[in-house]
Amino acid sequence: MSQLFTIFVTKEKKMLASVIKQIEQKIKRLSKGKILFITDFSELGTDVAIRQSLQRLTKKNLLIRLSQGIYYYPKQNDVLGIICPTAEQIAQAIAKRDKARIIPTGSYALYKLGLSTQIPMNVVYLTDGSARKIVVGKQKITFKKISPKNLAVKHHLSNLIIQGLKELGENNISENEKSKLKEVIIKSGEHTEIKKYIRNTAVWTQKIVLQIIKEIENN
């Protein structure tokens, strides 16, 4: 019995060593700065073997564990050292893996628009994928599941504007914020697209944005 157990353990160790080697070789063929998931290596072994392999490669400093099941192949800068991925990059990688759509919302939408200079510690996205919360360091990334029809607007800037204005509220939008939003729209050169897609939101949001676009077109 003891001999059989020893043979089994030896076989398991060899299999794990093989999986580790294959995963390491695959990672080293990738561009640095890549965000990786257990599913990226599913063809190389069982979930258990892949998890153990990624843990070993993390201890070897080949990878950085960002959160449960999420790893990072670190990109280095000669001056700054390791360049950590942003919440946006992590969220986009998760959305791509899950084949889901996401929209930045709340204070993060305001930050993305330039209406706020403060990076929120809780970054919130609306999604038609799975609802989940991910903690990366001191930052939390939250995915709130909503009906797919609420993600019908396919224009990125229009979505940001809709969510940013919703966060501010109908009666709390200052002239300074309208002026900044005007600059964003002018810089994007996408006012025609925004005019088209903004009609899929609340009437008060439409009025504010269409008035800004009217001013742009009249200049």
pLDDT of residue 169: 93
pLDDT at residue number 10? 57
pLDDT at 5: 46
Edge-first strand listing for the sheet containing 70-72: 35-37, 70-72, 64-67
Residue-level pLDDT at 1 = 47
Question: pLDDT value at position 12?
Answer: 63
Candidate CATH numbers 1.10.10.10, 3.40.50.10540, 3.30.300.30, 3.90.420.10; the one for domain 13-77 = 1.10.10.10
Hey, where are the domains in the chain? 13-77, 101-151, 153-219
pLDDT of residue 8: 42
- The list of the chain residues with pLDDT below 70 reads 1-13
pLDDT of residue 189: 92
